[in-house]
């Protein structure tokens, strides 16, 4: 899937590319600034299943050369015109911890954090790339403690992604853990805590964001491929056929009626698909509900909204199903709302938005850097 309309706009400013390398697909978004507006020039996605000799929608574990092959393919299909990029690092390939230190230690963090990090990182410090920053406003809280967010990525992971970028002829200004990119694109900075929930192919990530800062995170071992596999078994069809039907009909149970209508057999199949998807997604929604309740009970704070990102959130009827199960405000992320694009694409971009959150967030950060 790729769309390009960069020729509709002038080329006065520099274009940047956000590259989100997931386990089941690669998503790219090319943006540029034009008189203060963020312009969407092109975007695209490519499934990684075929590169691993498996089905579209399945989670993969590909070597660097296969990933770079797919990346070059989607860049070509989307008519990407820039090499200036930011690339995401999977959450599972990183470690994020928050710890407290005396406020008096703030000026010595460069020497203190690597020592403190040994308590949280299960490998030698010289095997990872470390970053850290102070979160919250110590002056505002009048606390004698500061909170430090520690981020660690294994050197082997960085080397793999550098190799992918080099093979694709990209000049990468930064690598960023996907959670930070997703949050940047999915929500606006606010005071009240919000949950950002990223439904991927193999797992779902749950982040609590307050004042624009990620305060905690969890991984839930349910993902969108579980729905496809369950539907394949229930309907007695191939995984590829189940994935196609899942994307076409989703949880609505309502087919896109053609002029002649659907046959009785097809209608029955849709009903069975609907039942299968509901059964297989219910454990995920139940786990999300428990996670929300546990957070609110522990902190005595209400999550003001649950914002969903990731390809799994694009399932038709998903929002309405979650709203029927969880008593919170439910939103689907709309990252393209932060960009300018032709009006005729508005509905398409809104529907695809959750899947492209990370790629949009990466490109937005790069635009900020070059301003």
Structure tokens at 326: 């969880």
Q: Quote the tokens at residue 66.
A: 């296969």
pLDDT over threshold 90, residue 83: yes
Q: Could you give the percent of the chain with pLDDT greater than 90?
A: 65
For residue 256, the model assigns a pLDDT of 42
Give the span between the Cα atoms of 338 and 186, in whole angstroms. Answer: 9
Chain centre to alpha carbon of residue 352: 12
Per-residue model confidence (pLDDT) at position 258: 37
Return the top range by mean pLDDT from 135-139, 188-192, 346-350: 346-350
Mean pLDDT of 131-154: 78
pTM of the model: 0.88
pLDDT exceeds cutoff 90 at 172: yes
Instruction: With H, G, I as helix, E, B as strand and everything else as coil, classify residue 181.
Output: helix
Q: Given this model, what pLDDT does residue 213 score?
A: 81
Q: Is residue 152 over pLDDT 50?
A: yes
Residue 275: its H or E element: helix 264-299
Smallest CA-to-CA distance from 27 within 35, 17, 13 is with 17
- Residue 66 reports pLDDT greater than 90: yes
For tokens 């991984």, name the residue: 219
pLDDT at 240 over 50: yes
Burial code (b: 16+ CB inside 10 Å, e: under 16) for 337-359 equals ebbebeeeeeeebeebbbbbbbb
Q: What is the pLDDT of residues 90-114, one digit of tens each?
A: 988 888 888 888 888 888 888 998 8
Domains of the chain, each with CATH number or no CATH: 2-90+159-187+333-370 (3.30.420.40), 93-156 (3.30.1490.300), 224-325 (no CATH)
Q: CA separation (Å) from 110 to 46, 95, 139? A: 41, 18, 21
Average pLDDT, integer, range 300-325: 94
Q: How confident is the model at residue 13 (pLDDT cuts 50, 70, 90)?
A: low
% of the chain residues with pLDDT over 70:
90
For residue 132, name the pLDDT band (cuts at 50, 70, 90): confident
What's the first-to-final CA gap in the chain, in angstroms? 30
Segment 30-63, tens digit of pLDDT: 999 998 899 999 999 999 999 999 998 889 999 9
What pairs with residue 96 in β-bridges?
Answer: 151
Give the tens place of pLDDT for each residue, 225-236.
Answer: 999 999 999 999
In which band, very low, low, confident or very high, does the pLDDT at 260 lie, cut at 50, 70 and 90? very low
Contact 317, 341 (CB under 8 A): no
The mean pLDDT of 313-319, rounded to a whole number, is 95
10, pLDDT greater than 50: no
Rg (CA), the chain: 21
Better-predicted residue by pLDDT, 191 or 224: 224
Q: How confident is the model at residue 135 (pLDDT cuts 50, 70, 90)?
A: confident
CA 186 vs CA 194, 310, 353, 355, 358: distances in Å = 11, 11, 9, 11, 9
| In the predicted structure, residue 177 carries a pLDDT above the cut 90 | yes
**How does the average pLDDT of the chain come out, rounded?**
88
Q: Which residue has the higher pLDDT, 164 or 271?
A: 164
């Amino acid at each position: 899937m790729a769309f390009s309309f960069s020729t509709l706009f002038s080329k006065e400013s520099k274009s940047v590319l956000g590259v989100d390398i997931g386990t089941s697909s690669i998503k790219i978004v090319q943006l540029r600034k034009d008189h203060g507006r963020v312009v969407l020039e092109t975007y695209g996605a490519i499934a990684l299943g075929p590169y691993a000799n498996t089905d579209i929608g399945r989670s993969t574990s590909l070597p660097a050369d296969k990933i770079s092959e797919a990346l070059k393919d989607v860049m070509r299909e989307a008519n990407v015109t820039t090499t200036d990029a930011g690339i995401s690092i999977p959450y599972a390939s990183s470690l994020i911890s928050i710890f407290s230190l005396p406020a008096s230690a703030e000026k010595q963090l460069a020497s203190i954090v690597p020592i403190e990090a040994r308590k949280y990182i299960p490998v030698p410090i010289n095997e990872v790339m470390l970053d850290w920053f102070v979160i919250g406003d110590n002056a505002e809280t009048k606390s004698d403690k500061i909170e430090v967010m520690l981020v660690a990525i294994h050197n082997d992971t960085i080397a793999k992604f550098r190799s992918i970028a080099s093979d694709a002829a990209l000049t990468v200004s930064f690598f960023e853990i996907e959670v930070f990119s997703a949050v940047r694109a999915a929500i606006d900075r606010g005071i009240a805590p919000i949950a950002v929930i990223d439904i991927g192919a193999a797992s779902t990530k749950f982040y609590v964001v307050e004042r624009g800062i990620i305060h905690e995170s969890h991984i839930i071992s349910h993902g969108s491929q579980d729905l496809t596999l369950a539907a394949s078994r229930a309907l007695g069809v191939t995984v590829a056929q189940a994935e196609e039907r899942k994307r076409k009909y989703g949880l609505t149970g309502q087919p896109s009626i053609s002029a002649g209508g659907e046959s009785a057999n097809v209608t029955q199949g849709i009903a069975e698909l609907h039942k299968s998807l509901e059964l297989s997604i219910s454990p995920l929604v139940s786990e999300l509900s428990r996670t929300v309740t546990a957070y609110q009970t522990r902190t005595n704070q209400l999550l003001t909204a649950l914002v969903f990102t990731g390809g799994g959130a694009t399932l038709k009827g998903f929002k309405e199903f979650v709203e029927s199960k969880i008593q919170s405000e439910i939103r689907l992320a709309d990252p393209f709302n932060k960009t300018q694009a032709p009006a005729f694409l508005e509905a398409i971009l809104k529907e695809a938005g959750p899947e492209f959150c990370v790629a949009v967030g990466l490109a937005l950060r790069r635009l900020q850097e070059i301003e």
